[in-house]
Amino acid sequence: MARIGIYGATGYTGFELIKLLVRRPEIEIAFATARSAVGKRLSDIFPTLIDLPLVGVEQADLHNVDLIFTCLPHNTPDLIPLVQAAMDAGVKVIDFSDTFRLEDLDTYARWRTKDHPAPELQSVAVYGLPELHRERIRKAHLVANTGCYPLTAILPLRPLAQAGLLTDSPVIVDSKSGVSGAGRSLSLKTHFGEAHETFSAYTIGRTHRHLPEMEQETGLHIIFSPHLLPVYRGILSTIYVNTKPAVSEDDVRGAYAVYANEPFVTLLPQGRLPELRHVVGSMNIAIGVHRVEEGHYILVACVDNLIKGASGQAVQSMNLMLGMEETAGLR
């Protein structure tokens, strides 16, 4: 039996996390906080079989809690104190923000244009991608859950980079994400009339704050163009890579053998490309590989941004951190 606390239960990732946890008898949700809904119950917001009281941060009792998830909006001022308090109390932490994802403090400072707010916490944080850092996650006390966009670039690119198949020219990652990636906070960009039945690019090139994660985990130089899709869930990334001379399609496909035993990574057979509907609602990341011509390949990767791209990924890390079956509750 594990006791879990959730900070930020009424955002999209918090709610998805609860849906994944309530079906597991071995998990008890010790508390769920929601700043704007203190005193209400989850059923007041979403009237289903899932129900929980919602409390304020100050009412969250860490006593006897094994692990907390912090699913708070970027730049929540009390994030660092919350994480520090949990760590001090011996409670493990999985944080959904991008605060603890960059190992190099200089990279952090350059991209965020400010110093890291908690270097000592950063020094013990592990990047929460089990396919790459499984053993470190098992032992971690603080895991930085991956960004949803980065996941769709890192998992397809890392094996090719590791195998030394790519040239030095920039890799192009053209990503398209459903609107839930922008969260439940109100903004004109995510207002129905502005996001529906349209399509747009934003923070393209080398301006998106999650680009450095991609580069950290792949060692590649990346040009990244996110786009906003008029769907609720899912990310599809179309990735353009240049391979070194004499690299064959077998070399490229062969590099993905590293994922042969991964429960949630599916390499599609030659000639097939993944679509959002193949993965939405599941933990799968599906990857298709297309040879364009000598030296040029296209990779297409799809995930459900709220599951493998966020809350499911966090549960996978939690399972590792608490010594449970890695895939428990995720099939």
251 within 8 A of 163, measured Cβ to Cβ:
yes
**Residue from 92, 101, 176, 308 in contact with a second copy (CB under 8 A):** 176
Q: Which of 13, 122, 180, 316 binds a second copy (CB under 8 A)?
A: 180
Output the smallest distance, CB 121 to a second copy, in A: 31
The tokens describing 288, both together, are 């298709």
Per CB under 8 A, the list member of 62, 204, 324, 328 interacting with a second copy is 204
Smallest Cα–Cα separation from 40: which of 55, 19, 26, 58? 55
Amino acid identity of residue 152, one-letter, is T
For 83-120, give the DSSP string: HHHHHHTT-EEEE-SSTT--S-HHHHHHHHTS--S-HH
Residue from 52, 163, 231, 324 that binds a second copy (CB under 8 A)?
A: 231
What minimum distance in Å lies between the beta carbon of 84 and a second copy? 31
What are the distances in angstroms from CA 61 to CA 24, 46, 58? 21, 24, 8
| Position 174 contacts a second copy (CB under 8 A) | yes
302 catalytic residue (yes or no): no
Min separation Cβ 63 and a second copy, Å: 30
Tell me: does residue 328 bind a second copy (CB under 8 A): no
Task: Give the chain's length.
Answer: 331
313: left (phi over 0), alpha (psi -120 to 50) or beta: alpha
47 vs 90 by CB, closer to a second copy: 47
315 sits near a second copy (criterion: CB under 8 A): no
Compute φ and ψ for 193, nearest 5 degrees.
Answer: -65, -15
316 counts as binding a second copy under rule CB under 8 A:
no
Per annotation, catalytic residue among 91, 129, 137, 148: 148
The residue among 6, 9, 15, 24 whose CA lies nearest residue 330 is 24
Applying CB under 8 A, does 54 fall inside the site for a second copy?
no
Site for a second copy in 268-307 (CB under 8 A): 268-269, 272-282, 284, 286, 290-293, 296, 298, 300
- DSSP 3-state of 227: strand
Of 90, 110, 135, 199, which one interacts with a second copy (CB under 8 A)?
Answer: 199
Report how far residue 280's alpha carbon sits from residue 292's, in angstroms, rounded to the nearest whole number.
27
Contact 127, 146 (CB under 8 A): yes
**What separation in angstroms does the CA of 215 have from each of 101, 153, 155, 282?**
12, 9, 12, 26
Q: Does 74 bind a second copy (CB under 8 A)?
A: no
Q: Does 238 bind a second copy (CB under 8 A)?
A: yes
Segment 81 to 110, residues that bind a second copy, using CB under 8 A: none
Burial 211-236 (b: 16+ CB within 10 A, else e): bbbbbbbbebebebbbebbebebbbb
* Residue 35 found at the interface with a second copy (CB under 8 A): no
- Kindly report the CA angle at 206 between 203 and 210, in degrees rounded to 5? 75
Q: Minimum distance between the CB of residue 217 and a second copy, rounded to whole angstroms? A: 21
The answer to whether 8 contacts a second copy (rule: CB under 8 A) is no
d(CA 171, CA 166): 9
Residue 162 interacting with a second copy (CB under 8 A): no
C-beta of 82 vs 279, nearer to a second copy: 279
Q: Please identify every residue annotated as catalytic.
A: 148
Write out the residues near a second copy by the rule CB under 8 A. 12, 23, 46-49, 169-170, 172, 174, 176, 179-180, 184, 186-188, 190-202, 204-206, 223, 225, 227, 229-232, 234, 236, 238, 240, 266, 268-269, 272-282, 284, 286, 290-293, 296, 298, 300, 331
